[in-house]
Structure 1
Amino acid sequence: MNKADSISVKVCGITEAKDARFALELGADKLGFITYEKSPRKIDFEKVENIKSELSLNEEKMVAVEVEPTIEHLKKIMDQGFGVFQLHFSYDLSRDLIGQWSQLVGAENLWLAPRLPKGVSFPEDLFCYSETFLIDAYSESKFGGTGERSDWRSFSLWREKFTAKNWVLAGGISPSNISSAIEETQARHVDVNSGIEKSPGIKDLEKMTELFQKVRRII
């Protein structure tokens, strides 16, 4: 098995069935649906259901993306048939709430995405709640979706130090930097969104094709 065979790609910010279908045809491992109300890529539950039905999506392909949901809201998201739950939050959020998320969806199905200011060490007390951690670019005003590059050096250090966990690299990944991102961080899971878009929520099929071609070329 070469390196490309072991790299999984999640295409996030899906709002259209045609984009979802094309991503899967190219080899996307997972599709991300942003349910966060303030996101320009927000999708409502009815449209999620339509895409799921049209493409006969399995739960493990579907990732719900939210920011600091209440338990009540997370239960509503679970009812939509998602298999994975990617939750963004301030790194100092109450561990009691995070623990409730983990108990509700299962640590194996929870991707935790703490918003980490530059220079902040990874909060190791989160490890008991999840098996997978997503690292996105830091912004004081946004939880992901900035289109900016994340801290590749810190990602690489954490991935090497905490090998028992899964690490997902996000933040401004595009066809122009996907090769260097993987080479520099040795990431095995990447999350792409704005770097393959025409506009928020609408994918650029040429950019998406180019990105997957470059992933496959990595040896």
Structure 2
Amino acid sequence: MPKPEYRNPSSHSSAILHDASLHPLLHSFLACTSPSLKICGVTNPAEADQLAQLGIDALGINFWPESRRYCPLNTAREFLPSLQDRILRVGVFVNAEPDLPRSLLSSGLIDVAQFHGDEDLAYCNAFAQEGLPFFKAIGVEHADDLSTASRYHANGILLDAHAPGVYGGTGRVIDWKMVAGFIGEQSTPPVILAGGITPENAAEALLTSRACALDVASGAESSPGTKDFSKVSSLLETVCSLRDNAD
């Protein structure tokens, strides 16, 4: 019996992907022809370097002080420069003053910002107008939660479980079929799927949702902020297998 094949039906992100100013790693990460993997909540240089050596597509550094996976900026400054052009460096922010992500993007410490809080359209569109790359996370409970997604003018939309007052890393799964329906709509930006992704369900999550990438935090950990590299390797193996099938 042939293996299930990964197919992302979205062709509506072409304007974003053909932007010559995009970092090559960001362009590759968002490509809808084969899936990518982001490991979020990295807190120390040793794990960050190991992720890069394994060939993980992207890592997330959480700059929200209330997160269990918080990485102080001084710590991030010690190791993020050494990862430049080796792995996509995503800075995660929750309702931050815009000058913080703006300065980290402009200085080249991070390659893309991820707004994972209650940032509104005006906040996000200011970054779009300045040509600063960002993902916007949306907590999803019902299909109506997706109605404003394309209005953020984000380089990618990250769909996570809806959890009021909790900004990611909950381990809750969202409706993957609803995500697939959203991806099939017109003017859909590239979609990154988060929420309860584990080595056990990663393949089904990608095959059902047709997202361009997975974003994994708790599903790749032994405890918050500490990566379990057996889980990371299993996730990578799954993504690479589907990537090979898509070629």
Do they superpose with TM above 0.5?
yes
Match of 1:27 among 45, 55, 69: 55
**Number of equivalenced pairs:** 213
Gaps of 5+ in 2: 8-32
Q: Which amino acid aligns with 2:54?
A: L
Q: Which amino acid aligns with 1:118?
A: H
Report deviation, 1:194. Answer: 0.7
Q: Which amino acid aligns with 1:102?
A: A
Match of 1:89 among 89, 111, 117: 117
The superposition leaves residues 7-49 of structure 1 with CA deviations (integer Å, 9 ceiling, x where unpaired) of 1111110112222222223221111100011100000111112
**Runs of 4 or more consecutive aligned structure 1 residues displaced over 4 Å after TM superposition:** 2-5
Secondary structure of the structure 2 residue equivalent to 1:206:
helix
Q: Which amino acid aligns with 1:14?
A: V
* Alignment of 1:208 onto 2:232: yes
* Alignment of 1:139 onto 2:166: no
Paired position in structure 2 for 1:42: 70
Paired position in structure 1 for 2:135: 111
The superposition leaves residues 64-108 of structure 1 with CA deviations (integer Å, 9 ceiling, x where unpaired) of 001122223333443461110110233xx54222222333452xx
Q: Distance in 1 between matches of 2:46 and 2:236?
A: 17
Change in 2 beyond 3 A, CA 1:67/1:126: farther
Cα RMSD after superposing both structures: 2.4
Q: Distance in 2 between matches of 1:129 and 1:56?
A: 27
Paired position in structure 1 for 2:89: 62
Match of 1:152 among 157, 176, 184: 176
Report deviation, 1:121. Answer: 4.1
Q: Distance in 1 between matches of 2:144 and 2:169?
A: 20
Secondary structure of the structure 1 residue equivalent to 2:110:
coil
Q: Distance in 2 between matches of 1:156 and 1:19?
A: 32
Secondary structure of the structure 2 residue equivalent to 1:136:
strand
Paired position in structure 2 for 1:165: 189
Q: Distance in 2 between matches of 1:60 and 1:19?
A: 13
Report deviation, 1:144. Answer: 1.2
Q: Distance in 1 between matches of 2:240 and 2:123?
A: 39
Q: Distance in 2 between matches of 1:28 and 1:114?
A: 23
What is the TM-score of this pair, normalised by structure 1?
A: 0.86
Identity fraction in percent: 25
Change in 2 beyond 3 A, CA 1:96/1:216: closer
Report deviation, 1:172. Answer: 1.3
What is the TM-score of this pair, normalised by structure 2?
A: 0.77
Paired position in structure 2 for 1:98: 124
Q: Distance in 2 between matches of 1:217 and 1:163?
A: 29
Q: Distance in 1 between matches of 2:143 and 2:152?
A: 23
Secondary structure of the structure 1 residue equivalent to 2:90:
strand
Q: Is the Cα–Cα contact under 8 Å of residues 49 and 80 in structure 1 kept in the other structure?
A: no
